[in-house]
Amino acid sequence: MRILVVDDDPLTTTLLKKVLELSYYVVDVAHDGEEGSYLARTNEYDVVILDNRLPQKQGSEVCREIRASGKTMPIIVYSVVSDTDIKTALLDTCADDYLTKP
């Protein structure tokens, strides 16, 4: 299984990558929305784990671009923002799940 993690926090991406690789997943990492959108649209991933607050492009924009390109892999958005309206908008338009960071 191939996973794309899109997050600008080096600690988060390092930890997620290590934990997922220990479970034998292949993990690619992008550190901003522009790179994450490009990788998700031009490669085949089984799932995308996407932070909503990113430099260059917000996660919501990346999510919409991935869907607009015809990709159907699950997208899990996670963020420190727990606003119900933001969660609902993302789930209605492009995300398959939304998790709030502790």
**Residue ranges with strand state E in 1-102:** 2-6, 26-30, 47-51, 75-79, 97-100
Q: Are 18 and 3 in contact (CB under 8 A)?
A: no
**pTM, full prediction:** 0.92
The chain-wide mean pLDDT, for the chain, equals 93
pLDDT surpassing 90 at residue 93: no
What sign results for the dihedral spanned by CA atoms 72, 42, 2, 31?
Answer: negative
Per residue in 58-84, pLDDT (tens digit) is: 999 999 999 999 999 999 999 877 778
Q: What does the pLDDT average to over 49-64?
A: 94
Per residue in 27-40, pLDDT (tens digit) is: 999 999 999 999 99
